[in-house]
Structure 1
Amino acid sequence: MKQIDYYFSLLSGFAYLAGDRLEKIAVKHDATINYKPYDIMAMFEALGAQKPADRPEGRKVYRTQELTRLSKKTGLPLKLNAQFWPTNAAPASYAIIAAVNAGGGDVAAVITSLNHAMWADDKNIADDAVITEALKAGGFDPQLSMTGMLQGAETYARNLEEGLAAGIFGSPFYIVKDSDERFWGQNSLEDLDLHLAGKI
């Protein structure tokens, strides 16, 4: 079975606007997804890259326009000036990791709930209530946000280390494990689909 390492940050509007396309591609090709949330701000620092707030004005304008276009194309609501962006994504990421480890639920639904909370509903994904709601949406025990915290913190840091070693430099980032083919950005999902089909 093919495996896709999915490196992402909840702070990435582009990861949010990918919607459920990765999951649909995985089902289509009988592939498994290894969800790997990581600290994107720490990644910028490790790579010596500019954080969004420090980028040139032209790039900021382009980001705004691109996110707006993608929101219209995908039909996913997006608040460009989300009240709680950026926030501390670590607690919510720990919860995702705990859900992955627990199994028996829908991890993608947890991620979708958290993304929608921040990018559409102006909620703070660092709040326990928002995290609890997301875990419930995925069919998980909401206590996972507490019981899985230590392991979540360790895995969150390890995901960044592994991602950097694998060559990631943004979010969303997809790596097909058996071929080491890498795909950056939600706009590369079509190519990921074609690659898994053996066409490119």
Structure 2
Amino acid sequence: MASIDYYLGTISPYCYLAGLRLEEIAEKHGATITYKPVDLMQMFDRTGGIRPKDRHVSRQEYRAQELTRWAAHMGVPFHLNPAHWPTNMAPSSYAVIAAQNAGGGDLGGLVHAFTRATWAEQRDIAEDSVIRDILQAHGFDPDLADKGLFVGAETYGRNLEDAVEAGAFGAPFYVVRETGQRFWGQDRLDFLERHLASL
């Protein structure tokens, strides 16, 4: 059974566009997923990337075109300039970490819901009420929003170190532990599936 480390950003538009395809692929091939929320901006700083606001205008313009194209291709609602972006990723990331530790709910759905809230629903995922609502909607105790904050902060920081060590530099980023194969971007999920099928 393969194990996938999924490095994600709860405010990443490309994590939103990935939808639940990773979960579907993992189920098909009997793989497990460990969700590892990271601070994307620090990841960019650590791995030679450039924060979106600091990128050359040509890169910003291309990103806007590409995101719009992909949303249309995937047939999902999308706001190119959402009302609450960027926002603080830490509270929603802590919620994902707490939910993963607690178990019992739909973790993949929870992660996707945070990204969808930002890019499709114009909600601020740094707000406690939004986090609690999304937790409850996916089968988790909404009080997880307030529990395990120290552990959440510690794990969130460790996830960044793990990401850098594993060779991740963006999100979504998928690493198959058994083989060390890395896949960057929601448009590489087909390659991830082919790799899992070959194991």
TM over 0.5: yes
User: 1:30-179, aligned counterparts within 5 Å?
Assistant: 30-179=30-179
Runs of 4+ with >6 A deviation: none
The residue identity in structure 1 corresponding to 2:104 is: G
Q: Distance in 1 between matches of 2:12 and 2:32?
A: 22
| 2:6 aligned with 1:6 | yes
Aligned to 1:16: 16
Q: Which amino acid aligns with 1:89?
A: M
Matched letter for residue 56 of structure 2: P
C-alpha separation in 1, matches of 2:106 and 2:11: 21
Alpha-carbon offset, residue 47 of structure 1? 2.4
Q: What TM-score do the two structures reach when normalised by structure 2?
A: 0.97
Identity score, percent: 52
Q: TM-score, structure 1 length as denominator?
A: 0.97
Count of residues paired in the alignment: 199
Q: Could you list the per-position Cα deviations for residues 110-159 of structure 1 after superposition, in whole angstroms to 9, with x for gaps in the alignment?
A: 11221111111111100001100110111000001111211111100000
- Gapped regions of structure 1 (runs ≥ 5): none
1:181-200 to structure 2, matched below 5 A, reads 181-198=181-198
**Aligned to 2:174, what secondary structure does the other structure show?**
strand
